[in-house]
Amino acid sequence: MRYNAGQAQTYWWQQGVIYQIYPRSFKDSNGDGIGDLPGIIAKLDYHTWLGVDAIWLSPVYPSPMVDFGYDVSNYTDIDPIFGDLAAFDTLVAQAHQHDLKVIMDYVPNHTSDRHPWFIASRSSRHNPKRDWYIWADPRPDGSPPNNWLASWGGSAWEWDAATQQYYLHSYHKAMPDLNWRNQDVKEAMFDVVRFWLDRGVDGLRIDSAQRIIKDPQLRDNPPNPDPNVTAYKPLGDYNSQLHLYDKGHPDIHAVYRELRQLLDIYSTSSPRVTLGEMHIYDWPQWARYYGAQLDELHMPLNFGLVSVPWNAGAVRHLVDSVEAALPPGAWPNYVLGNHDEPRVATRIGQEQARVGMMLLLTLRGTPTLYYGDEIGMHNVDIPPQSIQDPSEKNLPGIGPGRDPERAPMQWDDSPHAGFCPSAVEPWLPIAPDYTQVNVAAQRADRHSMLSLARALLQIRRTTPALAVGSYTPIDGAPADCFVYVRRFENQRRLIALNLSDDEQQLQLPAMGSARILISTHLDREGPVDLASLHLRSDEGCIIEVAE
Ligand code: GLC
Ligand code: CA
């Protein structure tokens, strides 16, 4: 089976690797224990050294920080915690000098309840901005208008005593949902897009992209026949329903087509990209967000690798299903970790995290690399008094707490890992093993996770077969191995991954002479006989096969 042929003509967002920065946790420049824009600017050399192509910043807008920036109170400014617009402009200019693109988080589904739009909207039923949010009357018994639930617990409706109606919030009650069916909202939010694209931003990561258009009749969601089977992750009562009506109404596609037209206008000067956060694991459904004519999102984000059981059969099945679902010409992408999910090194273990890194950086499609995963950062234990995450506070103990994967970046072995001055407390605790697990130590260790990540990025960048080539899975490998070929013109690379801690013996089809280019153990290279390829526990290899 061979999927979409390699493409010669590609954009930066297809060839490139995206590095996600959680700004609060990357580098503190002014000694308040919270990362900021000057901190990121100071580390741009690191991104160039590492070999990534773009940085995506989680939100840096003014915000009451109920959800650490995903509750925006002004879409066209920077929160003083992070800096100001001048610092942002400097960041974009310097990133571009470093040959790095900048992707901004764009949060269209909801604002903060402190946003002037919402303050106006809730001030009276007759305010011109009333319809900018989703307001509805109670049912006759006074209860919420329907059974929709917030992701972080309880009804998605909050009663407003002053105006005697409920407003909708898909997440926290301090994050009311905008009404994208209102044309003025759409225009105002498209103006926000223009504002950042005019400032030179190269792309948008669209938060909660599937949620912005709901059922206009506000119908009740049906019950989930098997709440134990969750599409995504444990979210308490939220998983007791099938979310048919509270997101993803078909009218959403017209909005994304229009947004794409806006992006396309800007792309004539330099290509811009939209990545949509999309928790859809039914791949044909997910693929619809590319648009029937590839005229919607450039890439709906693919979180399959985040929730797939970590075994070779399941991972291959996922990749094959994604490839099969892609409309012709659509470009795939893979996410292995982010600010909402447990660290990959915790999920699958430090040894397999190296195999995961090789997988992420050799699959066909744009990889997103979460800060710190390149040094194997793991979930950090958060003592109860240090919990920050609103989802953990609302739903304690059921698992979605997100502080553990948001701990500060570990730069070196100085106090607070070089993230902030020793005299201040970082906003979240630093991993206790930072004296060993840090960028400086791993730069000096040629077998480290960081050395592996950097070598893989370098190989990907210089190998068209990996950057843009086709993907063909190879049958007949041992059950614990995932083997595939990437090909561009005559260039072929075989990737053989052992997803177990047992040794494996592979008899691969004769492909002529072959040479190991890199092993995840970083200790072997050179000729190899594919008729009897031996993989050690937790080992993956990239192998050059004859042209
Ligand atoms: C997305 C973000 C998450 C945020 C939520 C609400 O899922 O990734 O961090 O809490 O949207 O904006
Ligand atoms: Ca700071």
DSSP letters for 412-468: SSSGGGGTS-TTS--SSPPPGGGGTSSHHHHHT-TTSHHHHHHHHHHHHHH-HHHHT
In order of 116, 378, 498, 529, the CA distances from 538 in angstroms are 53, 18, 6, 20
Q: pLDDT per residue over 288-306, tens digit each?
A: 999 999 999 999 999 999 9
Q: Catalytic: 84?
A: no
Q: How many CB atoms lie within 10 A of CB 9?
A: 6
pLDDT of residue 8: 53
pLDDT of residue 400: 56
**Worst-scoring range by mean pLDDT, 35-39, 155-159, 273-277, 381-385?**
381-385
Q: What is the 3-state secondary structure (H, E, C) of 372-403?
A: CHHHCCCCCCCCHHHCCCHHHHHCCCCCCCCH
pLDDT of residue 509: 81
pLDDT of residue 392: 87
CA nearest to 9, candidates 201, 260, 271, 275: 271
Percent of the chain with pLDDT over 90: 91
Q: pLDDT per residue over 229-268, tens digit each?
A: 666 777 888 999 999 999 999 999 999 999 999 999 999 9
Hey, which of 172, 301, 340 would you mutate to test ligand 1's pocket, going by the most ligand atoms within 8 Å of its Cβ?
A: 340
Q: How many CB atoms lie within 10 A of CB 479?
A: 10
pLDDT of residue 43: 98
CA nearest to 241, candidates 259, 263, 260, 219: 219
Among the bound ligands, name the one nearest to the CA of residue 30.
2
Q: In what order do the strands lie in the sheet with 203-206?
A: 299-300, 273-276, 203-206, 101-106, 54-57, 18-21, 366-370, 333-335
Query: From the candidates 67, 79, 177, 207, which is the catalytic residue?
Result: 207
Query: Which residue carries 């996410």 as its tokens?
Result: 335
Question: Which atom of ligand 1 is closest in space to residue 67's alpha carbon?
Answer: 10
Q: Please give the average per-residue pLDDT across 40-52, as a whole number.
A: 98
Percent of the chain with pLDDT over 70: 97
Q: Please give the average per-residue pLDDT across 347-374, as a whole number.
A: 98
Residue 407 CA to ligand 2 center (angstroms) comes to 14
pLDDT of residue 399: 62
Question: Which atom of ligand 1 is closest in space to residue 390's alpha carbon?
Answer: 10
Question: Is the pLDDT assigned to residue 281 strictly greater than 80?
Answer: yes
pLDDT of residue 41: 98
Residue 346: its H or E element: helix 344-348
Question: Is the pLDDT assigned to residue 6 strictly greater than 60?
Answer: no
Pocket of ligand 1 (CB under 6 A): 67, 70, 107, 171, 207-208, 277, 339-340
Residue 279 CA to ligand 1 center (angstroms) comes to 11
Report the chain's mean pLDDT, rounded to a whole number: 95
Among the bound ligands, name the one nearest to the CA of residue 79.
2
Residue 61 CA to ligand 2 center (angstroms) comes to 14
Could you tell me if 53 and 100 are in contact, meaning their C-beta atoms sit under 8 angstroms apart? yes
Closest protein CA for atom 7 of ligand 1: 208
**Worst-scoring range by mean pLDDT, 63-67, 235-239, 375-379?**
235-239
Query: Which residue carries 């066909």 as its tokens?
Result: 364
Question: Which atom of ligand 1 is closest in space to residue 71's alpha carbon?
Answer: 12
Closest protein CA for atom 6 of ligand 1: 70
Question: Which atom of ligand 1 is closest in space to residue 170's alpha carbon?
Answer: 6
Residue 468 CA to ligand 2 center (angstroms) comes to 39
Q: pLDDT per residue over 443-494, tens digit each?
A: 999 999 999 999 999 999 999 999 999 999 999 999 999 999 999 999 999 9
Among the bound ligands, name the one nearest to the CA of residue 29.
2
Question: Which atom of ligand 1 is closest in space to residue 110's alpha carbon?
Answer: 12
Residue 24 CA to ligand 2 center (angstroms) comes to 8
Give 217-220 contacts, CB < 8 A, sequence gap 24+.
Answer: 218/136, 218/145, 218/146, 218/148, 218/245, 219/146, 219/244, 219/245, 220/146, 220/147, 220/148, 220/245
Q: pLDDT per residue over 411-421, tens digit each?
A: 999 999 999 99
Question: Is the pLDDT assigned to residue 439 strictly greater than 70?
Answer: yes
Among the bound ligands, name the one nearest to the CA of residue 340.
1
Q: Please give the average per-residue pLDDT across 362-373, as a whole number.
A: 98
Question: Which atom of ligand 1 is closest in space to residue 109's alpha carbon?
Answer: 12
Cα distance between the two ends of the chain? 20
Residue 207 CA to ligand 1 center (angstroms) comes to 6
Q: pLDDT per residue over 72-114, tens digit each?
A: 999 999 999 999 999 999 999 999 999 999 999 999 999 999 9
Residue 360 CA to ligand 1 center (angstroms) comes to 23
Question: Is the pLDDT assigned to residue 382 strictly greater than 60?
Answer: yes
Among the bound ligands, name the one nearest to the CA of residue 27.
2
Closest protein CA for atom 2 of ligand 1: 207
pLDDT of residue 236: 82
Q: Please give the average per-residue pLDDT across 493-520, as a whole number.
A: 94
What lies within 8 Å, CB to CB, of 265 at 6+ separation is none
- CA 410, CA 404: separation in Å to the nearest integer? 14
Could you tell me if 505 and 534 are in contact, meaning their C-beta atoms sit under 8 angstroms apart? yes
Hey, which of 56, 63, 66, 70 would you mutate to test ligand 1's pocket, going by the most ligand atoms within 8 Å of its Cβ?
A: 70
Hey, which of 22, 63, 67, 72 would you mutate to test ligand 1's pocket, going by the most ligand atoms within 8 Å of its Cβ?
A: 67
Question: Is the pLDDT assigned to residue 218 strictly greater than 50?
Answer: yes
Closest protein CA for atom 12 of ligand 1: 70
Q: Which two tokens stand for residue 432?
A: 């206790």
**pLDDT-based confidence at residue 343 (cuts at 50, 70, 90):** very high
**pLDDT-based confidence at residue 5 (cuts at 50, 70, 90):** very low
pLDDT of residue 229: 66
Query: From the candidates 277, 296, 374, 392, which is the catalytic residue?
Result: 277
Could you tell me if 155 and 195 are in contact, meaning their C-beta atoms sit under 8 angstroms apart? no
Closest protein CA for atom 9 of ligand 1: 340
Q: Catalytic: 246?
A: no
**pLDDT-based confidence at residue 4 (cuts at 50, 70, 90):** very low
Question: Which atom of ligand 1 is closest in space to residue 340's alpha carbon?
Answer: 9
Residue 208 CA to ligand 1 center (angstroms) comes to 6
Residue 112 CA to ligand 1 center (angstroms) comes to 13
Question: Is the pLDDT assigned to residue 121 strictly greater than 50?
Answer: yes
